[in-house]
Structure 1
Amino acid sequence: MIHILVLSIGKQPDGPIQTIRGVRPDRVVFICSQESQDLIRSIQARVPVPDFDADRDVMVLQHRRPGSSPEASNELDRLDSVYVQASALLERLGQEHPGCRLTVDYTGGTKSMGAGLAMAAIDDPVANLQLTTLEQRVPGSTVITGHSFPVPVPTEAIHAHRLLSLELPTLLQRFDYAAAEGAIGRVRRGLQPESEAFRTLTRLETLMVALDAWDRFDHRTAVQLLNGRGREPAILALLLPLKRVVSSRKLVDARARGEDWPSMPGHGLELAEDLLRNAERRAAQHRYDDAVGRLYRAVELTAQLLLRTGVAGYVGEEGIDTSDVATERLPEILQPTYRSLHERKGVDQPLKLGLVESYELLAALLHPVGLRWKQRDENLRRALKLRNASQFAHGFEAIG
């Protein structure tokens, strides 16, 4: 693995020489001004600079001088320009040498040169930042003298702060839990496992995995992940509602009922509420087609759940399963109607009710939601017809 050293140089050779001796790179790339460019030959005379190519390995930042052309810019004092050029250099080196070890030393040069190079190194996914320190300086001077040596510059706290204060809030604001998980993992992998920041980000990463699973309706994974950390107040605030969603899901999902998913009984409609919240998140992401699909399923689930929990006085405690209607449990006055419907659909198959049929049964059982549906039947059927004729469902008609 090739080891490349990128360093900024100023007016004295001692610092860069000590840096090269301490790092012992396979290649050195200098960032300098026109005035300090000649210093490179002095450095080469005192320390080996392997595989050096002046055209390739020197980046000169133009410095405006009296009488120079108007195009010349004072890039030595322009932090943004130094940062952009240094970033491009580090990116190019990484592309030319995949898997290389890239060390950046920002000790020498102007303040803007050092700051811009350091910022570029912090933002680069490969570069390791270091600073050449010294035992003593000439009084009143910044020039390195005496023995000096390069030392690593920790950047973990910077990355963690950027993540927590800038990147993560933006991702969470748009409910992009998968991207948040990736961003946290990227920063966490650069931390020391024994550090408190590492432990904090590990907990956050697990939370993002759980939220992403919940957002994809993988309630089993989400509840199991959160259940393992249920004593934390912030986790409990998520876990308890999720357990009620799972309990609601068990009313209409045979697989969930057959497995030991942690759950907690609620009012029974939590699964439909969960879909509505999911639709809100998709709309916030401008994914309106996904939002409409979830709204449709929420309307359908509402009827299914109410037939399970809201009509016990008419059909018994088990309610009605719309995927396999037991006609004998319906009131006698309704049984002929639904036996006839079963015959039309085919008696060799379970009697299944669609969205409209489910609300019609709720109305027949005098449930308030079914009666409300019946009052708005015409408008709701028109909306469903529009949806079903569009590419959201079975057709190709435009909506709008």
Structure 2
Amino acid sequence: MPKILIVTVGGSFQPIITAIRSLQPDRVIFIASDGEKGSKSQVIGEGTPCEVRRGVEVLERLPNIPTQVGLGDRFQKERDLILVQNPDDLNECYPKIHTFIRDLQVDPSHEIMADYTGGTKTLSAALVMAAIDCGISVYITIAARDNLVRVERGEVTQRVDTSFRHEL
């Protein structure tokens, strides 16, 4: 059964790379913010838009996420990139994500998964809410946190227990 992974994109691309490599999806849907400083550059940016940082220092510049994980022709910008104007607006994020998942579910021949590690809190919350409402598997990529800013390297992707949804 082909697998589709939906991920939220924020300031750090490394956990998204880990999720894609761990879950080995056939297709990846990226939810990113639009605009000049939006996270979409990590998905469709030319050259080396992904930066490995230590504080404000840029240690390394890498290609966009689809290039890093070798998606090639399996990534189609028009089909696999959901852009939100305001990643802090639940009223924009949730309906857009929910509708997208429901449209994917019309074809029951694939497994749909969601990893909410990247993105703003609101964007991640919208993905989790939509995933739970649509009954798809939810994952998070975690690691020991040495700071309160973001997950660093050494992360692992694990399934989130959402069995509570059946008890409500």
Do these two structures clear the TM 0.5 threshold for a shared fold by scoring above it? Answer: yes
- Given the alignment of the two structures, is residue 82 of structure 1 paired with residue 93 of structure 2, yes or no? yes
* Aligned twin of 2:27: 27
Q: Deviations over 1:93-115 (max 9, x none)?
A: 111x3231111011110111000
Q: Deviations over 1:55-79 (max 9, x none)?
A: 11000001xxxxxxxxxxxx31221
Separation in 2, partners of 1:152, 1:134: 14
- Given the alignment of the two structures, is residue 153 of structure 1 paired with residue 156 of structure 2, yes or no? no
Separation in 1, partners of 2:94, 2:66: 26
Separation in 1, partners of 2:128, 2:66: 24
Q: Deviations over 1:322-379 (max 9, x none)?
A: xxxxxxxxxxxxxxxxxxxxxxxxxxxxxxxxxxxxxxxxxxxxxxxxxxxxxxxxxx
Structure (1 or 2) with the greater helix fraction: 1
Q: Shift of residue 144 of structure 1?
A: 2.1
* Aligned twin of 2:40: 37
Query: TM-score if structure 1 supplies the norm length?
Result: 0.35
Match of 1:140 among 139, 148, 158: 148
* Aligned twin of 2:78: 55
> Helix, strand or coil for the counterpart of 2:131?
helix
Query: TM-score if structure 2 supplies the norm length?
Result: 0.81
Contact 1:133 1:149 in 2 (8 A): yes
Query: Structure 1: which 5+ runs fail to align?
Result: 63-74, 163-400
Contact 2:84 2:92 in 1 (8 A): no
Residues 1-400 of structure 1 aligned to structure 2 (within 5 Å): 1-34=1-34, 35-41=38-44, 42-49=64-71, 51-62=74-85, 75-95=86-106, 97-125=107-135, 127-137=136-146, 139-141=147-149, 143-160=150-167, 162=168
Aligned length: 145
Separation in 1, partners of 2:148, 2:5: 29
Contact 1:8 1:109 in 2 (8 A): yes
Structure (1 or 2) with the greater strand fraction: 2
Contact 2:144 2:155 in 1 (8 A): yes
Amino acid in structure 1 at the alignment position of 2:12: Q
> Helix, strand or coil for the counterpart of 2:39?
helix
> Helix, strand or coil for the counterpart of 2:154?
strand
Separation in 2, partners of 1:147, 1:28: 22
Contact 1:136 1:146 in 2 (8 A): no
Contact 1:135 1:146 in 2 (8 A): no
Q: Shift of residue 30 of structure 1?
A: 0.3
RMSD of Structure 2 on Structure 1 (CA):
1.4
Query: Percent sequence identity over matched residues?
Result: 30
Q: After the TM superposition, which segments of 4 or more aligned residues of structure 1 sit over 2 Å from their partners?
A: none
